Structure 1
């Protein structure tokens, strides 16, 4: 009797199944889970999703996104956001008040290259916020909106228009501020007379600020960095600048400041960077600058300084950057500096030119006198 084909198939099928089972089991164990386990508070997760923040992985896991990032606390059962950075946002992203209220645990909020519609921050968000960064973002900011950020210690704004605001309005309520950078915002008005004394860094460059630099600025005893460059400031550099005993970096370039460099600057022993270029400063350059042991950057170009440059070659070589060109009445002594690479002439050459002019003037004068005498003598013979 012939064997039943089904009887032969059964052992063969079992053999194939045994051979394929390890492979199938291994493949199944290597496949990713179908769902992601989130440790973030559900309401905050929903808020992130509403602003198109990537949530394919847990936002509280180590950052994997190049432009967007978060940090979370360690609270349980769910973590809460401490910092949020949104970069390179699309134009269709909207920030709802509901979403922002859900992010009330944030202490650090950053928008970088996010040209989304302006938003008013709810009090639930601003209460804990300590650091706010807005670079090329939100299209415009208002003074009323910014002065709601009363608890900030760090404020950075750049490349965004600030409307209906003065510096006093923005900073007046920020009692704990120690770092402020507001640049390229079109901000107008004057520098305030009153400043928060906790400030260590001030950058107000590339705005439309005008008026004089107030002497009250020197009351900020711990100020280390001051950049007021590229504005429309005028007047003299206050003598009270010598009170900035902690100052390391000063840039007042590209304004309309005039007068002499105050002697009080000699008191700032730790100065590393001094930029006074492109102003209307005059008088002689003070020699005490060469005695500043920490100085690495010195820009005095495009002013109205005159006289002999009071620096020797060893001091200039110690500097990483030295600019002094564009001062037509300034010259250098070739006994102390061996080259003309700094954009000013040798003093001896200037003296020679001056002496030549004097000699020429005397010669012309004497020739004129002789001519007059000869003319009178000749004239007397005919009279």
Structure 2
């Protein structure tokens, strides 16, 4: 009987399955070989990175570089270079300059027309301690500028050059020589002006007869302006600050000065103004600073000044005021600065202010006249707010008067007695001779 061989199909099937399972398994990784999961995947650059969102327009960046302005940092960043402070808009993909301040410029900085054309987006431009030679600004830049500042910069400016900035609302030019026949040629075409400072510019001529009604700040101090203060200036209802000090203005203070209902600061010091203090000043309730010193003002100091509740600075020194000072100790202590010295005919009531004060004026006698001239000053600096004037003690004056009185009486009595004794001796001798 023959043997029957076993069926090999189940074993064959098992071996085939084992082979396929082994082939499907991934190869064992070497410890030194990196696996796909450990390989870093590069990320696309972020659109909001500083490189793109804070980068200045390349044309304007090149313009700054052509002006030799340091641009090692982004001019639009919060920490710009020391010699240039700037602000930019938020436009994309590149930002544009809106304001630029050039300060403490080096000798290498030079303006160019091409560079300024690229900076025509500026609405505010300032030069501080940059004595560079000015050039004519392109029309695009002058039309966009709303604020222009020039302090100890841009040598040899002219009134015509400044007059082209017709759209500015804020104009500041100080410690710069300006060649012009007067401020009118500069300000005449600036229809949107709110604030103007033209100080220490050697301007001559007269004050403008026409002023823009929107003005809130006017400073024309330390020039060579002459003539009278025009009444048109007192029609600026929005004016808060008026400084015309250190000029050659004359005649009287306009009686309509009280129409400046918003005025807080008034300085007319160091001119040649005469006449009394206008009564209309009483209509300025917001006035905190009043300086009329170093003029030729006369008359008595009006009582209404002591009723100005907000007044903190009062300087009436170096004038020709007379009469009795109408202020008490409470009013004077309320002021931060008070000066009335160098008014030789002005005196104070020592029963109101005390017998020892430091005002630079004499005490009054019973007739309201100074007892004696105020003490001589070594320098104008003696007339200061901390009361550094020489002491004037009216008690000492009265004491000297009492000492001088008895001395004269004793001397008179002695002379009289001597004359009588001499007469008696003479008569005795005469009678003996006659016998």
Q: Same fold judged by TM-score > 0.5? A: yes
Q: Is the CA contact (8 Å cut-off) linking 1:107 and 1:131 kept in structure 2?
A: yes
In 2: Cα distance, 1:112 partner to 1:210 partner: 29
- Select the residue among 340, 363, 374 that pairs with 1:346: 363
In 2: Cα distance, 1:152 partner to 1:296 partner: 33
| Distance apart, 1:328 and its partner CA | 0.1
- Select the residue among 301, 306, 315 that pairs with 1:299: 315
Aligned length: 329
In 2: Cα distance, 1:141 partner to 1:242 partner: 36
> Is residue 337 of structure 1 aligned with residue 343 of structure 2?
no
SS at match of 1:288: helix
- Select the residue among 69, 72, 76 that pairs with 1:56: 72
- Select the residue among 107, 127, 149 that pairs with 1:133: 149
- The superposition leaves residues 198-232 of structure 1 with CA deviations (integer Å, 9 ceiling, x where unpaired) of 00000011011111000110111100000000001
Q: 1:173-192, aligned counterparts within 5 Å?
A: 173-192=189-208
When normalised by structure 2's length, the TM-score is: 0.72
Which residue of 2 is the match for residue 363 of structure 1? none
| Structure with more contact order per residue of length (Cα contacts < 8 Å, sep ≥ 6) | 1
Aligned-residue CA RMSD in angstroms? 2.4
* Structure 2 residues not aligned, in runs of 5+: 1-31, 33-49, 374-397, 406-435
Which residue of 1 is the match for residue 330 of structure 2? 314
> Is residue 79 of structure 1 aligned with residue 95 of structure 2?
yes
| Distance apart, 1:136 and its partner CA | 0.5
Q: Is the CA contact (8 Å cut-off) linking 2:111 and 2:135 kept in structure 1?
A: yes
Q: 1:279-298, aligned counterparts within 5 Å?
A: 279-298=295-314
- The superposition leaves residues 9-53 of structure 1 with CA deviations (integer Å, 9 ceiling, x where unpaired) of xxxxxx9xxxxxxxxxxxxxxxxxxx9776111111111111121
Q: Is the CA contact (8 Å cut-off) linking 1:119 and 1:138 kept in structure 2?
A: no
- The superposition leaves residues 322-368 of structure 1 with CA deviations (integer Å, 9 ceiling, x where unpaired) of 00000000000011112320100000285667999xxx9xxxxxxxx
Which residue of 1 is the match for residue 131 of structure 2? 115
Which residue of 2 is the match for residue 88 of structure 1? 104
In 1: Cα distance, 2:132 partner to 2:260 partner: 40
| Distance apart, 1:65 and its partner CA | 3.0
Say if 1:296 and 1:74 are closer, same or farther in 2 by CA, change over 3 A. Answer: same
* Structure 1 residues not aligned, in runs of 5+: 1-14, 16-34, 361-383
Which residue of 2 is the match for residue 250 of structure 1? 266
- Select the residue among 41, 50, 55 that pairs with 2:57: 41
Which residue of 2 is the match for residue 227 of structure 1? 243
When normalised by structure 1's length, the TM-score is: 0.82
Say if 1:317 and 1:130 are closer, same or farther in 2 by CA, change over 3 A. Answer: same
SS at match of 2:346: strand
